[in-house]
């Protein structure tokens, strides 16, 4: 699985002009399943995101993960992370997991996050979402499992 994480001061997801998810300080995790992913890989990505040290310690060094910082995670399904952009002017999406299977893997990812961390909010798979965030830093990392 692919996870693009962004450290945020505030983040939200709106669908049809209604706020469906919102967090204060924490991480926004844009998540994409690829064809060879498994529930175990979804759980591994969840654990990596929770433990990844992107928050500052007393010395200002990125030494604290979101779980230890007591912050939230906003998980958003984002199939475009698997886009093939090597040629031309239009991305190809054959590298993304088929939607029916990807939905289950995203659900596995969210379940793994929620089992390990209390403060989890999510976007909605397959929805036309408007995602907003105040990126803190900015700090953005690309993770895989």
Q: Enumerate the active-site residues.
A: 78-80
Rounded to an integer, what distance in angstroms lies between the CA atom of residue 9 and that of residue 25?
A: 4
| 107: helix, strand or coil | helix
- And the tokens for 137? 């830093």
Residues 6+ apart with CB under 8 A from 58: none
CB atoms within 10 A of CB 34: 17
Determine contact, residues 18/124, Cβ cutoff 8 Å.
Answer: no
Q: Which of 110, 34, 49 lies closest to 76 in space, CA to CA?
A: 110
């Amino acid at each position: 699985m692919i996870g693009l994480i962004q450290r945020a001061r505030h983040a939200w997801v709106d669908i049809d002009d209604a706020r469906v998810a919102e967090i204060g300080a924490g991480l926004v995790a844009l998540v994409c399943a690829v064809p060879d992913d498994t529930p175990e890989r979804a759980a591994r990505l969840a654990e990596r995101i929770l433990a990844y040290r992107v928050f500052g310690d007393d010395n200002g060094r990125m030494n604290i993960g979101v779980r230890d910082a007591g912050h939230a995670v906003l998980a958003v399904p984002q199939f475009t992370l698997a886009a093939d952009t090597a040629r031309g002017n239009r991305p190809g999406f054959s590298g993304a997991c088929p939607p029916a299977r990807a939905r289950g893997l995203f659900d596995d990812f969210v379940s793994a996050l929620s089992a390990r961390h209390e403060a989890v909010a999510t976007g909605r798979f397959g929805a036309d979402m408007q995602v907003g965030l105040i990126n803190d830093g900015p700090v953005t990392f690309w993770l895989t499992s």
